[in-house]
Amino acid sequence: MNTLANTSEQRIEGEAVLSASPRDFFDLMKPRVMTLVVFTAFAGLVAAPVDVDPLLAVISIFSLAIGAGAAGALNMAYDADIDRTMKRTRLRPVARGAVSVEDAYTFGIIASILSVLMMALASNYLAAGLLAFSIFFYAVIYTMILKRSTPQNIVIGGAAGAFPPMIGWIVATGEISLDAIILFMIILLWTPPHSWALALYKNGDYQAAGVPMMPVAKGPKSTRLQILLYSIVLVIFAGAPVLTGLGGMIYALTSLGGGALFLLLAIRVFNSRAGEAGSAEEGALYAVRAGDKAARDLFAFSIGYLTILFAALLAEHGFGAFFAIPGLGL
């Protein structure tokens, strides 16, 4: 008898794929990451000094979200082997066999093309081109090249996540300006301390998967120092919007308060032994051993820090809460 599913493993995989639900495909798009992408892009769009048709703005942001999700799907397709090894990611749709690698690639490529075309229709070619480049950068440069080859993977790869506010800005203005570059730089500088804090308390996971994250390649001590250095640069640079006049009083106070807390947590990480206990016992994102708590706290707060910075810009430019700081603004 000629049977296609001639091993039990193949049969189970085949059945699982046939049972894939729309929810599994939605999960391929990394909805949590998409939320941050939409939020920062929206803040960039609102902060730009040009009014856009609201419906076109919403469709542009929607296109960006689909593009980001498509990049996530391509990432999960390529990284299925790594995801299967890591406790934190082993329940992802491709890793657990709910969606086949081929289906994830197909879904990712189709969604990428549609999102870029929709962006071109709804906004302008520069925004669409940058969206296409950011998908390529995340799926190919970061996922396929950098992630497995260098501890600087997220330092360079972080650019992919930094594009959304810049794209939001370009949707409104049609051009790249200094303020758009500053928003890009804030996320670029934010990514290393954010990702390395996670890598510290999930060190064993990355080690088992053979991903050369900084704690794996250079050790926890060096990583803690680099987290502190990047945090200092980030907190100082986050003040740049105040100098150019993009950020007003609310942004300045948020940046100051949030930055102080960020630095405090980064110093706590530096003084801790985070990353030296090995892998966390549980696979959950925030599960942590006692010695790694400082890293977990910094990771959790870093998301809040970025959110409040962009929320401040949103409040100032979208809700008329902008109070200029006398003597500042280029």
Q: Residue numbers of the site for other proteins (CB under 8 A)?
A: 1-5, 11, 14-15, 18-22, 25, 53, 55-56, 59, 62, 114, 118, 121-122
**Do 279 and 226 touch, CB atoms closer than 8 A?**
no
**Do 223 and 199 touch, CB atoms closer than 8 A?**
yes
CB of 118 to other proteins, least distance (A): 6
Residues 6+ apart with CB under 8 A from 273: 220, 291
- C-alpha to C-alpha distances, 195 to 127, 229, 254, nearest whole angstrom: 27, 14, 22
Q: Which is nearer to other proteins, 122 or 280 (CB)?
A: 122
Burial class (CB in 10 A: 0-12, 13-18, 19+), 111: buried
**Alpha-carbon gap, residue 240 to 76, rounded angstroms:** 35
CB of 55 to other proteins, least distance (A): 6
CB of 316 to other proteins, least distance (A): 28
**Alpha-carbon gap, residue 83 to 198, rounded angstroms:** 15
**Do 137 and 87 touch, CB atoms closer than 8 A?**
no
CB of 100 to other proteins, least distance (A): 13
CB of 130 to other proteins, least distance (A): 19
Q: Provide the residue count of the chain.
A: 330
